[in-house]
Chains A and B, each alone.
Chain A
């Protein structure tokens, strides 16, 4: 399914000349897992209403960087992050920043679909409920419905909202997870290889969805699929062995990369 329509290409060209503002910014980000250093002075900007793809061979640190953006690395005891990551200019590692608020603003979709073992409705409603986003039941129903609609899942599940979310197919589960992330109205959505557990048709649906979501959200996606990065992203960052090798507009990265390692990786010579 070719989602790169002519209009899309034109839009991309327009963006290159007129770059949107920076939403998140990483400056000299270093991550240590115990003694092992996983990221080396990564500087990377994430621009608003764009899809930024992080690519690179396994173990290159792209997921580590992604997890720094909403401080999911905090949950790993031995992980230590240094450097500076800002969201709208605020340092997210500032002690004054509340991690709960940060994660509400920077949502996340994981590699393996991980719906809660609760009903579809509860899965989506959980976020708004704990953040107090809905004043009453009608409000909450509205949020659930619109989130499911935005995730392109509503029509498939509208008759069984009270059935378990784990009973859905893999692709539907992943879209449910996206709906769950959307429901708390984040500004940025981080996606960690969201399609790696999905079949090509489900993958196409999710990619289509990512492209639609770009209008309202800033998206950072980690992917192992070059084609996927090329299809969905506007900017691409190439990681290798913990270093940011190269970063730039996706069409340039895939046609004329500056670094030989990017060239080799994209053409399949390693990784």
Chain B
């Protein structure tokens, strides 16, 4: 064999492993390794990017829903107004409305008053009644009570309903012609014309401009009131004359000096937003007087569903999900683990068990809605169990989770080394003792992981529950397993379907809560795993 090895000048023998071809092979091998490494790292980075994108989108969307704006109005609950003996039928909403209209004495027309009352949530009175029932000490005096705002008002204050352009002082004098109704305003220079053009005003004859409802709203604050500009025209000597509609009455017709009048531009045209200029002016007033307060949104976290976005809470769905998961776990875990133990440790290996095994694997791949149909046909129609109830939802999800638990449990039972079984059998433990004292504890971490995976799968499931009526609109928080309930994914599904913009944030926030639910479940799984894990 020595003739195959020649020696170079350096004395290093050249063999099949050291010649040029071998070096090229080695280089190609390393290159392939590098490529694979980078591809792998790229895949992980891409996955991470999408995860961050998803989470950041959901979080930024959900963020506004975590807080809510309340109106801190002084409410007169003295005995003259509220009779403590007749609280049941008392119109608390009326008290709140009275307090609000008292803040705006100028608003007198029926239409405007209704618009003003609309700033407050229709459920405010109900909340108040509940709070007073809990704390009767509120009665008999004037209290400052946080009144939930209507969803549009709330969204406007959060800056989500309209693009607020700029708040700028007018660099010239402004003279109003009246204090209410349609008035004329004379500006000291024609700077306003260019500004109005820039905000979508329609050009007319002789340089006249009209601000239609399709243009941005120009709200001019002066002399303690607010005027909405409707039209502008060039005046004499380089001045400008504007027509305007007074929204809030002016104190006087005194000309505003340079820098005293301020212009607020709402970039979103009035026709394409859900809040009118009047409401904006009122809300700005309330805000500038310090009557609004942004607080933790306890309504969202601790109440049930509602058709009103500002009153809709996620707690009913959280409780529904929790109850459903308990039922699912209580059914799927014992049955699944028992089935796995029987099939893996006791069942003879024959054609029948093979068929069963194949079918269990197939069941894991059955579309979830089929389980929902099964639940509808069997649990509801045949057994007559209550519709929309967590117990039925849990049963349907248990059916869906069973194959996952069985497969995972069998895999982890199989992974227990046979030497442990032999050791136990060898000292005379019976089959059952061997399984329950030795094999099962060692397989437990794997079984738990499989179970949690299955449960997490079930928690996110919507389709089968639609079939058994858990999509129903349920305001009450479920108090038991047979109460009508809905669950988080279905709640998300329903909110995503509602047209009100207020539900957008709620949807994202509910998704966050669902994710938190999952994280908690996984954390429990990790803790349990750690506890059960043993070396062998």
Contacts and interface: CB of A to CB of B under 8 A. Distances in A.
A166 interface: yes
A108 to B, nearest CB: 4
B418 to A, nearest CB: 8
B445 to A, nearest CB: 12
B422 interface: yes
A72 B419 contact: no
B535 A100 contact: no
A184 B427 contact: yes
Interface stretch (A48-56, A109-117, A244-252): A109-117
Contacts of A177: 423
A127 B427 contact: yes
B426 A108 contact: yes
A103 B427 contact: yes
Contact of A116 (B420, B430, B433): B420
A265 interface: no
B442 interface: yes
A28 B438 CA distance: 36
A1 interface: no
A27 interface: no
A58 B438 CA distance: 30
Interface in B409-439: 417, 419-430, 433, 437-438
Given A100-B430, A126-B437, A166-B536, A116 B349 contact: no
A164 B536 CA distance: 9
Contact of B427 (A77, A101, A107, A117): A107
Nearest to B429: A130
B421 A184 contact: no
A130 B433 CA distance: 8
B534 interface: yes
B207 interface: no
B423 A166 contact: no
B422 A117 contact: no
Nearest to A110: B422
Given A117-B535, A164-B535, A166-B536, A112 B419 contact: yes
Nearest to A104: B428
Contact of B428 (A115, A117, A118, A130): A130
Given A77-B348, A117-B534, A127 B438 contact: no
B425 A103 contact: yes
A107 B427 CA distance: 6
A110 B536 contact: no
A72 B425 contact: yes
A75 B425 CA distance: 9
A116 B425 contact: no
Interface string A92-124: 000000001111100111101011111000000
B422 A72 contact: yes
Interface string A162-188: 001010000000000100110110000
A159 B482 CA distance: 57
Interface centre among B423, B428, B438, B534 (most CB of A within 10 A): B428
B423 A114 contact: yes
Contacts of B349: 77
Contacts of A100: 428-430
Interface string A214-251: 00000000000000000000000000000000000000
A166 B429 CA distance: 20
Interface centre among A77, A107, A130, A181 (most CB of B within 10 A): A130
Nearest to A103: B428
A117 B425 contact: no
Contacts of A180: 423, 427
A115 B423 contact: yes
Contact of B426 (A103, A118, A131): A103
A70 interface: yes
Interface in B427-464: 427-430, 433, 437-438, 442
Secondary structure of the B contact surface, majority rule: helix
A127 B428 contact: yes
Contact of A181 (B425, B426, B536): B426
Contact of A131 (B428, B438, B442, B534): B428
Contact of B438 (A70, A72, A116, A181): A116
A184 B427 CA distance: 7
A126 B427 contact: yes
A212 B442 CA distance: 35
Given A77-B348, A116-B438, A117-B536, A107 B426 contact: yes
A27 B467 CA distance: 67
A148 to B, nearest CB: 15
Contacts of B438: 116
A118 B427 CA distance: 16
Contacts of B534: 117-118, 164
A141 to B, nearest CB: 18
A115 B424 CA distance: 9
Contact of A110 (B419, B433, B442): B419
Interface in A14-28: none
Interface in A116-156: 116-118, 126-127, 130-131
B423 A117 contact: no
B142 to A, nearest CB: 70
A70 B426 contact: yes
Contacts of A130: 427-429, 433, 437
Contacts of B419: 110, 112, 114
B428 A101 contact: yes
A151 B1 CA distance: 55
Nearest to B426: A108
Interface in B268-300: none
Contacts of B417: 114
Interface centre among B349, B422, B433, B437 (most CB of A within 10 A): B422
Given A102-B428, A103-B426, A130-B429, 18 more contacts: A70-B426, A77-B348, A100-B428, A103-B425, A107-B427, A107-B428, A110-B422, A110-B423, A117-B536, A126-B424, A126-B437, A127-B428, A130-B427, A130-B437, A164-B535, A166-B535, A177-B423, A181-B426
Q: What are the 9 tightest A-B residue pairs by CB atom distance, in nearest-first order?
A: A104-B428, A108-B426, A114-B419, A103-B428, A127-B427, A117-B534, A117-B536, A114-B423, A100-B428
29 contacts: A70-B426, A102-B428, A104-B427, A104-B428, A107-B427, A107-B428, A110-B419, A110-B422, A114-B417, A114-B420, A116-B420, A116-B424, A117-B420, A117-B535, A126-B424, A126-B427, A126-B437, A127-B427, A127-B428, A130-B427, A130-B428, A130-B429, A164-B534, A166-B535, A177-B423, A180-B427, A181-B426, A183-B427, A184-B427
Interface of A: 70, 72, 75, 77, 100-104, 107-110, 112, 114-118, 126-127, 130-131, 164, 166, 177, 180-181, 183-184
